[in-house]
Chain A
Amino acid sequence: MSTSRRSPWSNIFAVAYKEAVALRHDHVFLGVVFVQPIMMMVLFGMAVSNKPQNVPWAILDRSAGTESRRFVEEIEATGYFLVPRPIVSYEEGRALLRSGDALAVVVIPHDFARDRERGGASVQVLLDGADPLSAARVGGYVAQVGAAFHDDDAHTASRPSGPVPQRGAIALRQRFWFNPTLRDRDFFLSALAAMLLTNLTLSATSLALVGERENGTYEQMLSLPTTPVEIILGKLLPYVALCYLEVLIALIPSGLIFGFWPRGSWVTLMVVTLPFVLASLAVGTFISSVARNSAQSVFLAVFFIMPSFVLSGVTLPYQLMPNGVRQIGGLLPLRWYQIALRRVAERGAGLADVWVPMAVLSAMFVVMLTAIAWRMKPRLG
């Protein structure tokens, strides 16, 4: 060991500087940093939603009375449905369901008006179970309209998520916290930063080591008086700065455009972000150390990102996933970050509420770093 060994930090900063300078010239990568946030924000702020909209449906009205017409109007008034298509037979309804031109077929029986007077009216709903999430919700909407259908008051049914008084049952006095109208936009925007950081960190680092190896600069780096861990930390440092920039790029426009500002403190948000960024960068670097060429590396990164988006709970609630799948998602850094991020951004949680995800993420970072150092070691010989 040389006695005049410099501090590890100067090595780290030297590598970091080189990396930062190289970044400015990578146009595709700058696209990832600046263009993707806009695409994703538009997409998740405006386009996608789990809440059924524009539901095509058909009505087989065998009663054809004022009561049945009012019932149809009530369903339309919920705002989830398109104008129904009137049909004359079950066969027609089945055909519409099969071709996907209707998601639900409501059948009002011939004796509907008479049954109403006796207090025992019922209607039938045929649902296309192909899309189970939509089917369950659409069925629920119709059922709630039905349950709230009264002779005297034609307007109470227009809010399916509101309280529905039922006799012979327990009335639920419900409140939806944090997002009273269950708007999907808030659900997505609160995790927008998580999605963007995943793309950014992985597409940045997946080329980190394999790129150097292809350029022949890898050997050069290893021949310098730096340790693998120093090289890696140096490589990751500029990206950490970039990641914070990306968080701002995600949060400020979604506040300005959609009015979605984080409820928790910004400081908490930034603190929570660090262990995730480090863990995710380390995953990308690990991929890069495993891949044999840069195409393979980016390829692996793509097929890590895509399932991450689904399994982590960023786009679909992980709470609804069956055991096994839910646990696999627990291995992804994104799972823990989106939990922490949503707690802070949506519920205004403080640091005390997010220490578990932060601890998990830190542990992941340490494990990945060890794995990378191990991957790099045999090549030193």
Chain B
Amino acid sequence: MIIRATGLTKRFGDFTAVDDLSFAVEPGSIFAFLGANGSGKSTTIRMLIGLLTPTAGAIEVAGVDVIRSPRRVRDLIGYMGQRVSLYAGLTLRENLEFYAGLYGLTGTALEQRWGALRERFELEQAEHEKASDLPAGVRQRAGLALSTLHRPRVLFLDEPTAGVDVQNRLRFWNLIQEEAAAGVTVFVTTHFLEEVEYCDWVCFIDAGRLIANATPDTIRRRYSHGYRIALTLPPPARAAAADAWRDAGVAVTAIDDGLVVQAPALTPAIFDLLDATAAKGAGGGVHVEQPEMQGIFRELMSMPQAEPLDADAVRAVETRAVDAAPVHAVATTRTGTTAARLAFTLAARWRRLRTLMHREARATLRDPFTVAMLIAVPIGALLIFGYTLAVDVKDLALGVHDASGTAASRRLVAELAANGTFAPRRFATRERLESALVAGGISVAVIIPPDFDRQLRDEAAGGRAAEVQVLYDGGETVVAGNAEAFLQGIAAATGSALVRNERSGAAAVPRAAGTRGIQVVSRVLFNPTLNGVPFMVAGTYGFVLTFLTTLITAVSIVNEKLSGTFEQLQVTPATSGEIVLGKILPLGAVFALDVVLMVLISGMLLGVWPAGSLVFFVSVSCFYVLISLALGLIFSATSATAAEAVQKTVLFSIPLNFLGGFIFPVRNMPVFFRELSRLLPATHFIAISRAIYLRAAGPLALLPELALLGLFGVVLMSIAFRTVAKRA
């Protein structure tokens, strides 16, 4: 027996999908596994190929205990899922090279094998077409060709003919029969009952339970009245003929123009009786009808608690002699020294990894949307965010009501406009000024009192300082704070000058002497002009490398899950570790290019180069990319559709974006949120990015942050590997 399932059971929570199934499959036979939608067919097939661990029971495929070592069986089996899993963006030829690479089939061996398959499967025309452009029938043949590429001993086909027209189905079954004739065992699920005719053995399940397990013929005999043979006989011969049949133990009924007999099987005795009947009733006709499977299954289904028909006894008679399957190439390589074996394993691993990476890179770079995003998002983000935080305030809307209207007050207004910070507008009345502030037309209102001149004179004579009233729109907290600082400066400078004028051109009094406070001399390091662009540019790396990376990774995996290619990958010898690495490394390389692109754009377009080491910055960024990739993998593994993966990001990441310090300094937050933000890798990366870009910090100064980032990397990466492996 090449497949043997014993007591196979799978429960999902309270729901029992497969209930105590036992069956065995002869080598070289075509085994049909039938059942309605949701009866447990796909669950069973997924357990047989090691994609799903059963709750109970034992499985042996080609001599391998699938439950204990699901990986060892993969070289020995081929699988074709319900959706033929070709990568839509690649040509058939590229798909072929990809899957062949995973099985280690290259060079002339591949060309020979493919040459034969291509001809037999009639795929010559399709070879260089994109898989997404192939018609369903061709795609299905191509899928079968690819799953037999590595000469598997067992082929598992999960509803291979769904959605294919009658002609193509016929062609497809011919191919399957050819495979079986060559010694391949074919395990096929279908819900086209007439296809049972092509099969050697039928297993029928309903609600996870075995209902029938026998040859099509046995089932036919057991659940129908056998062959219906209509005999056209002249009336005189009828009675004698009927007696002869009855004597042989065959049921006979009379119809208008003769007899109908129900024969359970077409045995030699039946043929003898037919001959005898023909001899008696000259000129009669014989019409033999085979009972339709459809009717049989309807009958089967209508007997809910029927004893399962397990025809082991019959099997002994009907077993067909089958040539031994060709010994598989991989199986023979398990010889030699440990070192040689290790070298062989490593070489195979590397070859599979290379194949996976090659495909991922090709698919990513060929998708115009992804490429557009990879280029447009970094550039757009840098240009947009780079300029949003400007401390050199310009043209701030300021309203002035000058109730004094003297030379001195006009000078003050002129000074307000002088350095470009404010764009003053005059208001004739205080009321209008205030209502403009309410309406939001201005952010600052300055009211110069009517006795401004007198106050200045007082001040010059040593009295109290002249006063000007200022109203701010406190709603705009940052604007108000900034405006205040600038106004204080202008008021101080202009005030001094005006008071000096009042002292009627006397020698300038040193200002410091008249001030009782302490003069604070500020020196700004790292960014002397307080230019906002570098700060935002360094933070934008955090934004882009978090969102773009996570999203593109998530979408890439979910799309594979949807198209069925992910499942197909898991049936190949590639390990889940290799599959994850095969995604992460090429995507990581693509994003590393993005990092370089961003460095160049911010340097050449915005004039912002890192103050610290460029190599250090790029290395840290590339490491951070790996963290985001891991997050993307985790996101996608838990999402059913690509849109859902992206929506989850919208739901959680937009609020979190504000917690990472990209715009609002983490320092300003209350303790709880500060600690919370420390749990985000983005927080640490943004801090590091800014330290390198603006303060030329080296690895030593950033050691704690780097260590944390490293820790995040290790933890997230291992979670990602485990999540993807669990879905295997």
A96 to B443, CA, bound (A): 37
Chain A positions 145-184 with a Cβ under 8 Å from a chain B Cβ: 145-151, 161, 164-184
Q: In this assembly, does B245 line the interface, its C-beta being within 8 Å of a C-beta of chain A?
A: no
Q: A32-B651, A294-B641, A295-B646 are in contact. Are A50 and B467 (CB under 8 A)?
A: no
Instruction: Give the segment of B114-122, B282-290, B490-498 that binds chain A.
Output: B490-498
Chain A nearest CB from B419 CB (Å) reads 15
Contact A315 B663 (CB under 8 A): yes
**Contacts A/B (CB < 8 Å), 29 sampled:** A32-B650, A47-B670, A49-B668, A52-B667, A100-B697, A103-B667, A121-B518, A124-B523, A128-B524, A133-B391, A147-B517, A149-B517, A168-B495, A169-B499, A170-B491, A173-B467, A174-B469, A177-B437, A178-B473, A182-B481, A295-B641, A298-B643, A298-B650, A303-B373, A316-B388, A320-B393, A320-B479, A325-B384, A325-B388
A140 to B492, CA, bound (A): 14
Chain A nearest CB from B158 CB (Å) reads 24
Chain B positions 468-486 with a Cβ under 8 Å from a chain A Cβ: 468-482, 484-485
Q: A129-B530, A171-B468 are in contact. Are A348 and B643 (CB under 8 A)?
A: no
Q: In this assembly, does A322 line the interface, its C-beta being within 8 Å of a C-beta of chain B?
A: yes
Contact B472 A175 (CB under 8 A): yes
Chain B positions 438-473 with a Cβ under 8 Å from a chain A Cβ: 438-440, 443, 459, 464-473
- CB-CB nearest in chain B for A48: B664
Q: In this assembly, does B11 line the interface, its C-beta being within 8 Å of a C-beta of chain A?
A: no
Q: A168-B514, A321-B387 are in contact. Are A28 and B648 (CB under 8 A)?
A: yes
Contact A203 B478 (CB under 8 A): no
Contact A130 B694 (CB under 8 A): yes
Contact of B646 among A31, A170, A181, A299 (CB under 8 A): A299
Q: Mark B484-527, 1 if CB is under 8 A from A, else 0.
A: 11011001111110110000000001011111111111111111
Q: A124-B523, A167-B465, A307-B381 are in contact. Are A43 and B695 (CB under 8 A)?
A: no
Q: In this assembly, does B297 line the interface, its C-beta being within 8 Å of a C-beta of chain A?
A: no
Contact of B520 among A46, A137, A142, A169 (CB under 8 A): A142
Instruction: Give the segment of B331-339, B531-539, B720-728 that binds chain A.
Output: B531-539
Q: Mark B690-725, 1 if CB is under 8 A from A, else 0.
A: 110011110001100000000000000000000000
A119 to B515, CA, bound (A): 7
Q: Which residues of B contact A (CB under 8 A)?
A: 369, 373, 377, 380-381, 384-385, 387-391, 393-397, 412, 437-440, 443, 459, 464-482, 484-485, 487-488, 491-496, 498-499, 509, 511-532, 534-535, 543, 547, 551, 555, 558-559, 641-652, 654-655, 657-659, 663-665, 667-670, 673-674, 676, 687, 690-691, 694-697, 701-702
A176 to B467, CA, bound (A): 16
A125 to B525, CA, bound (A): 10
Contact of B673 among A46, A99, A142, A171 (CB under 8 A): A46
Contact of A99 among B518, B519, B702 (CB under 8 A): B702
- CB-CB nearest in chain B for A103: B667
Contact B384 A311 (CB under 8 A): yes
A46 to B664, CA, bound (A): 12
Chain B nearest CB from A213 CB (Å) reads 13
Chain B nearest CB from A259 CB (Å) reads 16
Chain A nearest CB from B643 CB (Å) reads 4
Chain A nearest CB from B422 CB (Å) reads 11
With a CB–CB cut-off of 8 A, which chain B residues contact A194? none
Q: A140-B485, A299-B646 are in contact. Are A339 and B440 (CB under 8 A)?
A: yes
With a CB–CB cut-off of 8 A, which chain A residues contact B393? 319-320
Q: In this assembly, does A248 line the interface, its C-beta being within 8 Å of a C-beta of chain B?
A: no
Q: A100-B697, A177-B472, A199-B654 are in contact. Are A137 and B481 (CB under 8 A)?
A: yes
Chain A positions 292-324 with a Cβ under 8 Å from a chain B Cβ: 292-299, 301-303, 305-307, 309-311, 315-317, 319-324
Contact B535 A53 (CB under 8 A): no
With a CB–CB cut-off of 8 A, which chain B residues contact A134? 665, 667
With a CB–CB cut-off of 8 A, which chain B residues contact A293? 642
Contact B513 A43 (CB under 8 A): no
